[in-house]
Amino acid sequence: MYVAPRPEAADDPLFAIRLASAAVVGFALAPVLQTAIPALLAALPVGLMAGMRKAFDPKKAFGGPIALIVMVWLVAALVSLAKPMPMVLIMLMALLFFAGFYLIQRTGNPIGMLVILMTVLMSVMGMSSIAGMEAMRDSMTEAALATLLIIPALYLVFPPRTRERMIEAYVPAPGHHVRAAAIRAGVQLLLCFWLYSVIDASNMILAVVATFVLVFPTRQAYFEEARQRVVATILGALVALLLLFCLTFIAHLPIVLLLVMLAGLYFGSRMMHGRQPPMVYQFAFSAAVVLVSSSLTTSEPGYAVLTRVVLTLGGAVAAALLTALLEKLLIPGAGRSRTAAAQARPG
């Protein structure tokens, strides 16, 4: 699957400032909009903007949030209709998982990941509570609408130096697309079923992290993604704990915004110049933003941080190991290294 390369300071010297500002604007909007899930207002603009390179691209800036709104409403409607028939709902979710993974395997286009993520989020919340699912749907819609304004505005205020737009080269996975997609859909459904029937929907990060691992086509690529997710979550958790510690002395909104800005500047600069691949720092900043936002509304921030780390580790490792085992059993030669692995995981 396509992964954005490392941002270049020569092309975009204000990248870190723009990325940090996206989180700050999201945090500032949360008390104004009174959204049910404030973390989404900061995390969604950061996630979409962090994946953009070089000059402003209207297709990504507007197409991403619009596609998210369409998918979240579509999947939420399907879950609402099918929930009275649990077996029908599970079969429908399995088909959506397969369609998303097959699209990624066949084309390398990350739009398939949006299909999978929306299916995970809406189905897990819907199986627990339709009202909870609708609250998440509405919060994601609000965050996407805000993102439609935040990203163009920040590109206008902090423009890149280059006028060249990034050309994304999507590389299909090597062979066995149907079997590979079926294996990944099965693993994803298994983790979601665990959330449907055993543990609470608040632990859905387990299945979300698994999605980010499963979208990669080869063993080398998805084990590397699992490693990066775990490292990023630990790094983001440490920064979140540091910010929360600072807030114990003076917990006012301007101080929160200042600390988030500093964290964003650090992670944005590390994306350009750090030792780790850029996605590690992007994931870490997103994790830190979510943890700080959610911890401000709980009496046990340390437990929230620890839970996030444990669930990320469990989801990433379980997804990678189960997929590797099933591919070894069902796809001949799946364990051999391929040239496409390097193409799927640049940087």
Comparing CA positions, the residue from 51, 37, 82 lying closest to residue 271 is 51
CA distances, 101 to each of 146, 182, 187, 194, 318 (Å): 29, 8, 11, 20, 18
Tokens of 117: 């993520």
When pLDDT is averaged across residues 319-347 and rounded to a whole number, the result is 68
d(CA 46, CA 26): 9
Contact between residue 114 and residue 73 where contact means Cβ atoms under 8 Å apart:
no
Q: Is the pLDDT of residue 336 over 60?
A: no
At 54 the three-state DSSP class reads strand
When pLDDT is averaged across residues 291-318 and rounded to a whole number, the result is 84
Average pLDDT for the chain: 88
When pLDDT is averaged across residues 67-77 and rounded to a whole number, the result is 95
Q: What is the pLDDT of residues 97-150, one digit of tens each?
A: 999 999 999 998 888 999 999 999 999 898 888 998 999 999 999 999 999 999
The per-residue pLDDT for 178 is 92
| Helix intervals (H) in the chain | 15-33, 38-50, 58-82, 86-107, 111-128, 130-157, 177-197, 205-214, 219-247, 253-273, 278-295, 301-330, 339-344
Q: How many residues does the chain have?
A: 347
Tell me the torsion sign for CA atoms 243, 295, 223, 277: negative
Contacts for 300 with CB less than 8 Å, ≥ 6 apart = none
Q: Is the pLDDT of residue 339 over 50?
A: no
Q: What is the pLDDT of residues 4-42, one digit of tens each?
A: 788 898 899 999 999 999 999 999 998 888 888 888 998
Q: Is the pLDDT of residue 219 over 90?
A: no
Q: What percent of the chain has pLDDT over 70?
A: 95
Residue with tokens 């750090």: 274
Comparing CA positions, the residue from 237, 187, 192 lying closest to residue 214 is 187
d(CA 235, CA 72): 30
pTM: 0.88
Tell me how far apart the terminal alpha carbons of the chain are, to the nearest angstrom: 13
Q: What is the pLDDT of residues 153-173, one digit of tens each?
A: 999 999 999 888 888 778 888
How many Cβ atoms are within 10 Å of 261's Cβ, its own excluded?
16
